[in-house]
Amino acid sequence: MAQLTAFTDSGDWKFDKFLIEKRYNEALSNVWRVVVVGETSLFYRCSLMKFDDGWRLMDLDFNTDPEKISLP
């Protein structure tokens, strides 16, 4: 949590960009994005699963090191 607090305190919001989406059939999807605040980048991965009523977030992983969020 300290890493996230340091990130949010690091400066002005610059951008949030889509990186890649990997689908595993019609029911599971992983989406990777990057957010830049000040001079710091935060990479995050969302795991989504499709149910009858739409997509639901199943897992969220984030880190300043893209290698630590299983970026393909």
CATH number at residue 16: 3.10.450.50
| Alpha-carbon span 24 to 6, nearest angstrom | 34
| Host domain of residue 17 | 2-69
Q: Are 24 and 31 in contact (CB under 8 A)?
A: no
pLDDT, tens digit (0-9, with 9 covering 90-100), for 14-66: 788 999 999 999 899 999 999 988 888 889 999 999 999 999 999 999 888 98
- Total number of domains constituting the chain: 1
Residues 6+ apart with CB under 8 A from 29: 21, 22, 23, 47, 48, 49, 50, 55
The pTM assigned to this predicted structure is 0.77
Q: Are 30 and 5 in contact (CB under 8 A)?
A: no
| Alpha-carbon span 8 to 22, nearest angstrom | 27
